[in-house]
Structure 1
Amino acid sequence: MLLRIENLEVKYGNVQVLHKLNLNVAQGEIVTILGANGAGKSTTLMSVSGLVKPSGGGIYLEDKALHKLEAHDIVKLGLAQVPEGRRVFGTLSVQENLHLGAFTATDQARIRKNMEWVYEMFPILHQRRGQLAGTLSGGEQQMLAIGRGLMANPKILLLDEPSLGLAPILVKSIFATIREINKSGVTIVLVEQNARLALKLADRGYVLELGKIVLEDTAKALLVNPEVQNAYLGGAG
């Protein structure tokens, strides 16, 4: 198993946000985490990437205990996160943003190769490589955020709400790219408000409610599950 989350507990002050969460991701999978706002989806991802420290339980990447490491050391092990809201560095150029994604890398040839890969995947970023990231459209900033995550050469990529605020046509394009990234060998954990789109892309899914996993199944089974349809897919269909 590439990623294992075991009995994960997270508190913000006195408020418990995650309750004994168990979640597994196998090499090569796309796994989606569904749930309403405030269910604990982003907290789960931030715990995995070391931005939030658990109060209990463990997180393991190929048996390395991530919960004991700092965020930059977790990146070195091959895990990258594309945060909600994109968070590109607006006053830096596209190219500079991408270079920052490779801050833990030392192999210059590998950095160049990754940069070529990102530009091949997102030709618009190549055209705008000298442009300040803050002047890009929302869709281009999302492409840049994903590209920046890929510059770390991750085994596993965590994506937090990649479709947020984007026009439907751009969402389709971003999701097609996520599929391509996965086909290239990168395992993906996806938190996404568009549950239907996420389940059509994913292999498996977990449903999170108030910090607890209430359902776990193949994506196909979750798509036709009446509870999931009523809660997240706007009824049957």
Structure 2
Amino acid sequence: MNLELKNLHVAYGNVEALHGINLHINMGEIVTILGANGAGKTTTLMSISGLVKPNKGEILFDNQALHSLPSHEIVKRGITQSPEGRRVFGTMSVIENLNLGAFTSQNIKKNTQTLEWIFRLFPRLMERKHQLAGTLSGGEQQMLAIGRALMGNPKILLLDEPSLGLAPILVRSIFSTIKAINDAGVTVILVEQNAKAALKLADRGYVMEVGKIVMEDKASNLLKNPDIQKAYLGGTIK
């Protein structure tokens, strides 16, 4: 079972954002997508989750086409997304936000087990479960956004900029939790401006520039690549 994007083209009106990208994700991996703002990283994730539709090309999961399905059907097949900017529902409580993540599941026992697992991953959410999401700190809202995505019991979790705007100590905590989620059997596709942290966590990485994949390699190799160091890692890594 794997996820494949084949010759994927996506346009917003007359402007093409993805120019025929190809990538594959093997089950059990953490794969990071690197690139500057506007490179097409978020569009790639939104294409996988069905929020934008390709003009051309295919998205295949376990050899079944996803690109023609509505987004809620893609969630049912085991792919969920934690969006950039968190996008929690501020006037709803933490527990209400989490329950929304299970909207495609009728299995109450499984939902309860998943919720208990999320509270083990993020004890802060358990402490704040009746608090309005809009009153949480940025780090807590990020935990909530990831937890809400996990309530769909995904096989693949799409994470878009999970460390954005967070203090370094919270960044370390979030990345440690992503590793724990992966260790529990969830495949992770990670879009992240903190390239160094992402590459240290990931198995493989793709580099995007203006809607194209320009490099693919093991994350450890990308971390040592002088071009990647110069472009994304602030110079040589000692």
> Quick check: TM above 0.5?
yes
Partner secondary structure for residue 36 of structure 1: coil
AA aligned to 2:27 is: Q
Pair 1:106 & 2:106 matched: yes
Amino acid at match of 2:138: G
The residue that corresponds to 1:27 in the other structure is 27
Residue 217 of structure 1 is matched in structure 2 by 217
1:81-124, Cα deviation, whole Å (9 max, x unpaired): 00000000000000000000000001000000000000111111
- Structure 2: which amino acid aligns with 1:49? S
Amino acid at match of 2:44: T
User: What is the aligned partner in structure 1 of residue 149 from structure 2?
Assistant: 149
Code of the residue aligned with 1:72 in structure 2: it is: H
Residue type of the alignment partner of 2:89: F
Q: Distance in 2 between matches of 1:63 and 1:132?
A: 41
For 1:17 and 1:52, the matched residues in 2 are separated by 11
* Corresponding residue of 1:169: 169
- 1:145-175 alpha-carbon deviations (Å, 9 max, x no partner): 0000000000000000000000000000000
Q: Give me the identity figure in percent.
A: 67
2:134 aligned residue: 134
Distance in 2 (CA, whole Å) between partners of 1:199 and 1:150 is 22
CA distance in 1, matches of 2:63, 2:136: 39
Amino acid of the residue matched to residue 193 of structure 1? Q
Structure 1 regions of 5+ residues with no counterpart? none
Distance 2:69 2:123 in 1: 35
Give the match for residue 186 of structure 2. Answer: 186
Q: CA deviation at 1:181?
A: 0.1
Q: Deviations over 1:5-62 (max 9, x none)?
A: 0000001111111011000000100000000000000000000000001000000111
Query: Which residue of structure 1 lines up, in the alignment, with residue 8 of structure 2?
Result: 8
Cα distance in structure 2, aligned partners of 1:228 and 1:78 = 32
Cα deviation, residue 63, structure 1: 1.2
In 2, distance between residues paired with 1:158 and 1:54? 18
The amino acid of 1:191's aligned partner reads V
Q: Structure 2: which amino acid aligns with 1:139?
A: G
Secondary structure of the residue that 2:118 maps to in structure 1? helix
User: Quick one: distance in 2 between partners of 1:121 and 1:16?
Assistant: 39
Structure 1 runs of 4+ with >2 Å offset = none
* Rounded Cα–Cα distance in structure 1 between residues aligned with 2:221 and 2:147: 31
Aligned Cα root-mean-square deviation (Å): 0.5
In 2, the alpha carbon distance for the partners of 1:92 and 1:80 equals 20
Which residue number in structure 2 is paired with residue 69 of structure 1? 69
Counterpart residue identity of residue 153, structure 2:
N
Q: Which secondary structure does the structure 1 equivalent of 2:67 belong to?
A: helix
Counterpart CA distance in 2 for 1:145 and 1:16 is 29
Tell me the TM-score normalized by structure 2. Answer: 0.99
SS in 2 for 1:199: helix
The SS at the match of 1:67 is: coil
- The CA distance in 2 between the partners of 1:133 and 1:121, in whole Å, is 18
Paired residue type of 1:170: L
